[in-house]
Structure 1
Amino acid sequence: MNPYNAPALPRTWWRTTPAALGVLALVALLSAFSFALGFLVMIAAMVAVWVLPPWRWFARLGATFGALVLLVVGAGLGGQLDESGTGESDAKPAGGASAEAVSASPTASPSKPVEAADYVGQPLDEAEKQARSAGYTAGHHDAADEDRSILLKSAWTVCFQKADTAAKTIDFAAVRSAEPCPEKDGDPLPWPRMPDVVGATYNTAVGDLEQAGIDPDRVTLDDVYLDVDTPSAEEAAEDGDEWRVCFQSPDEGTKVTSAAAVRLDLGKWSDVDLVQRCPSAKDTAYKIPANDPDYNNDDEDSSTGGGSSVRTVHPGSYCSPAGATGVTSAGTPMVCGPGSDGRNRWRRG
């Protein structure tokens, strides 16, 4: 028999093309159930297509790529690929809890809304800004019973707030920064009322004002005598038992609002002073009677020439009219003229 004319021996089944294609199909099937098993079968399929069937090199290269695609497709269809791409179907959830515990646990309930922060006492504009940053929709209104419009929010202070954590809304009740908060939202403003301090010493008057809720720093001081200068608050406090309140403004019982002017008119005397009482009206009398231009001095000296009297005056005291003349007790000539404060005083002639 001619060996060249002899029929070709039949190829074993596992070296045939259908067998190689079957291995490739098995990659997709097994990877749908187990990514790890499908990966091993893919390696075996790659080796098979390069060794077993009599394919050309480009067919073997295409089959190799196809095995990889089948692995990914099969694993994806079978849910074997997680979000991280690891493909571990039996991986434990975060926190170390087992898959059984996760599947058995009930559906987690939504978290409770976060309570709104306390913004009471803050400027209204800052409170609204912080509330919006926390996710709230902010509103505002006048906390007093006057229903005033709020234009410049930085000049208002939060007294009350009402928040709805479910709807994420918050409403602020505010008053002007210089105003006291009412007892509750919508009540009248609790303005302090002026106490009666007439006749009290300065120290006692300051204590009464503070007890009534009136800041002594907002009080204006004035003098009542024509020949006594107005003391500063520090000077009045230093001799607080000698300064007396002769007049006050506003009157007793008047509401002292933020716009109200508070004034105390003071007189000063001690046990050695000749005058120890308030005048009947402000700027109508002299504490030292001799400072009164109309005061008749019993020690008037007579001039040697024409017999006219010369007034004995005190340097620096108030005088009238401008241009009047006099002498000190030591005989120094004095003239009535404007002093540094604009009032006429006896000055050296």
Structure 2
Amino acid sequence: MSDPLADDPRTATVASGESISLSDSHKKVLLQELGVGEAVRSVYHDGWGYAVLTGKGLLLFRNLLAPKVTRVTGPLRILRSAYGMFNSVEILVEGKPHKLHGSKLDPTGEFLEAAGRLLPPGSPLRPGGGKRTSTWIRRHPVSVVVMAAAALVAGLSGPGQPDAVARGGTDHAAVVPDFRGASLVTAAATARLGSWRVAAADASSAYRTVSASQADWRVCFQNPSPGERARPYNGTLTFYAVPEAEPCPSQLDGTRRVVMPDLVGERFDAASRTLAALGLDRVTPFHAHTGQRLDDRRQSLADWQVCRQQPEAGIEVPVTTQVDLWLIGPDASCTAPSPKPKPKPKPKSESAPGSQATSQPKPRTQPSRDSASDGGTSGGSGDGSWDDGSSGSSDGTSGGSGTGSGVDFGQFCSPIGATATTSDGRPAKCFMGKDGAARWGYRSG
């Protein structure tokens, strides 16, 4: 049976990299609780329960038999950084401390510290803070009276008088510098000189493991934000960074963006490796001449050359972008014209006059016999065969004009009324037929 966490892209990383194993019921509840695109970064033990850190906060699982989820939105309230043999990180949720530990992907709690802020030692949010304050007041009544009198004097002082008490309370707070755009190594070193504790995390949704000493990374975001007032000696400054060759995402935990490389002229296998290293794994090859999609499963495209690409080189694109490559086979030119299809043979037409080819003669049709115009005698009543008038002789057979001999019944004739003799000696006369054409017919008298 397959692991549902391994099959889901939001949990695939922890399914393969974490040593903590969740029960089937916990896995089902976790997948139901995760939002669209909310990837899991690490899993921790939380007493008898579990804690799951995502890009949008922390999920606490209670009740081992029927898991229930409590969602804790950031920033997390950290009571104590990693300590002890388990490197536990103690956080505060609804006034109750939780000790989280045991993550293989986050063994020292860097992810947790990057997602939260350390509460100052005197913060009233810390458990028992109010009780300790009341106890101190009972034990130091004189000091309380003095402080109250000082506050009263400060309240009665004019607007132009300096507030010594307030000024003294802010002397230790510093304005947080702006490290955005700086090298991660330089920013971390500078922050440590200012007494800050430093943590680093991936600024994109890739959630790559980042160390504050990571070379060739650049700061995109930071927490606390630039310009805020904070006390460095009890706070953590978290840098969210990406590799220097990679553009910063538009927002924290946003989709990774990369610069499209120039692949024209590269072999397809080398271009594919370059794209895969950048996280661009949606690649479609096309034939450079025909534009048809190529199937690498049916033919090897490793040695094919890239002629064109989309998007073009130098453009910033998210890693979810579809990349199209137009390829040409080995030893072929990208600029060569596409092969033209063979022309279809033209249909045969009737031969022109004077050509050697001869068309098949049309079958001769038997014309109707016309009645004679001079006496009603039917033309062509003799036993001569009908002809289409295509042949004849100079003595009257070609036109039938006047009186001639050697004509055949059915031949065309002219003029109407002319007489002639057939080749077998019978009398013939030129009659007008029903079809409007004059032909030789038998002359009865």
Q: Tell me whether the two structures share a fold, i.e. TM-score over 0.5.
A: no
Pick the structure with more strand per residue: 2
Pick the structure with more helix per residue: 1
> TM-score, normalization: structure 2?
0.23
> TM-score, normalization: structure 1?
0.29
